[in-house]
Amino acid sequence: MYRIGEFSKIAQVPGSVLRYYDQIGLLKPAHIDQWTGYRYYSAKQLPRLHRILALKELGLSLDQITRLVDEEVSAAEVRGMLMLKKAQVEQTLHEELLRLRHIEARLQLFDEPDESAFDIVLKNVPSQHYLSLRSVLPNADAALNVMRGLVEELPPHVADHAPGYFTTVIHSETLESDQLDIELGIVLAEPDDLSVTISDRRVLTTSLLPAVNMMVTVVQVGGFERNCQSYGAIGIWVEENGYLITGPGREVLIQPPRSDLMMDEVVTEIQFPVERRGEQSALG
């Protein structure tokens, strides 16, 4: 048996918490000395205490915890609830980390622009065989999740077709937060009427990405939160050099991340088809 101070250290719980749990009847001492009033706890009470603390981590009220503990909810049920809570907390942390990265990227836009940080290249891009699916998604994060799934699932299906880079085509005329018209897939070096069904039952089919005589490009190193800087650099270059954007932009994933915690290693080439200002009207 342990006095409250000793049990507090063993259980890693403040003594004030143990006294409060005693007061409300949630965890009574195993023994109280009738002469001294000292509270004594047993190590056998640790499972009940840990169950109480686990339920508290789930955000339950003390009344709810009392009912669940008294009804002897199984360890498996508590574990299941904790695993669900863990997943929710991890998702929240992931979303907050992305939000922090976006804020940091926006803050950098207030600094003096470093033109040397963006190597804008104008090049010819040939037509490409493209195994893809097109969807209207709620936001960029949803598109990123789909691409993650494709990066994991597609390689075995296309191993015999000389696969190239994973590529995204942004068809949306404007970047609406809840209606992102986007096409995601992988470039294939060899023509093939290939069709692949992925785990969520969506089907990828092969089409032809058209050739582009003049594609303005910039290679971006780092997470997708840096898009605002790279897209802005392209926008400035196009305007200052007398060009017009003439079609959907593309994002070519040269190096995917190995995990969500290693987004800084991502290498993406952002592309826009362009033509000289005035050429369109002259051709018309």
DSSP of 118-143:
---EEEEE--EEEEEEEEEESSHHHH
Distance in angstroms (rounded) separating the CA atoms of residues 131 and 128: 10
Beta bridge partners of 163: 188
Enumerate residues 6+ apart whose C-beta is below 8 A from 124. 211, 212, 213, 214, 215
| Domain endpoint, select from 14, 46, 73 | 73
Which of 57, 73, 89 represents a domain boundary (last residue)?
A: 73
Task: Specify the residue for token string 């470039």.
Answer: 187
30 DSSP assignment: S
Whether residue 223 is contained in a domain is answered as yes
- Residue 121: inside a domain: yes
Identify whether residues 126 and 47 lie together within a single domain: no
CATH code, 49: 1.10.1660.10
29, exposed or middle or buried, with CB in 10 Å at 0-12, 13-18, 19+? Answer: buried
Residue numbers of the domain that contains 24: 2-73
Termini Cα distance of the chain: 93
- Is 167 within a domain? yes
pTM over 0.85: no
Q: Is residue 141 part of a domain?
A: yes
pLDDT tens, N- to C-terminus, the chain (284 residues) = 888 888 888 888 898 989 998 888 888 888 888 888 888 899 988 888 888 888 888 787 888 787 777 766 676 776 777 777 777 777 777 667 767 766 666 566 556 555 556 889 999 999 999 999 999 888 777 888 888 888 888 889 888 888 999 999 999 887 666 678 999 999 998 767 888 888 878 899 999 999 999 999 999 887 776 777 888 889 889 999 999 999 999 999 998 876 655 567 889 999 999 999 876 544 44
Q: Are residues 163 and 268 in the same domain?
A: yes
- Please tell me the total count of domains within the chain: 2
